[in-house]
Amino acid sequence: MENSDKMKPKALYTRSTQAAARTQETAEAVAMVLADLPEADNAAGSVDHMLRANGILRNLPWPAPFDSPTHRLHIGDAAISRGRPTKASIWS
């Protein structure tokens, strides 16, 4: 082993260990904030708890297939496509 290899600092954490630690920290934060939610939403201080939970939960990634939105455009009258006649279709 060369002398230069001995001088290189070793990484304390690998990327996978860091990712696992972040995931564990996130899971613990979510569990804590969900456990802290009040039983009644009109109790004193409950709005602050719910806003805190909302701030944490909104920043979590969505699981598949909800992580990539799809948009579909359907041309036509929604009432007719649901089988309900509109005034226009009744009188024509």
The domain ranges of the chain are: 3-91
38: its two tokens: 């009040």
**Across residues 73-88, what is the average pLDDT?**
65
Q: How far apart are CA 49 and CA 34, in angstroms?
A: 9
**Across residues 9-20, what is the average pLDDT?**
66
Closest CA to 36 of 22, 19, 56, 9: 56
pTM, two decimal places:
0.48
Higher pLDDT, 12 or 17: 17
Residue 77 has pLDDT above 60, yes or no: yes
12 falls in which pLDDT band (50, 70, 90)? Answer: low
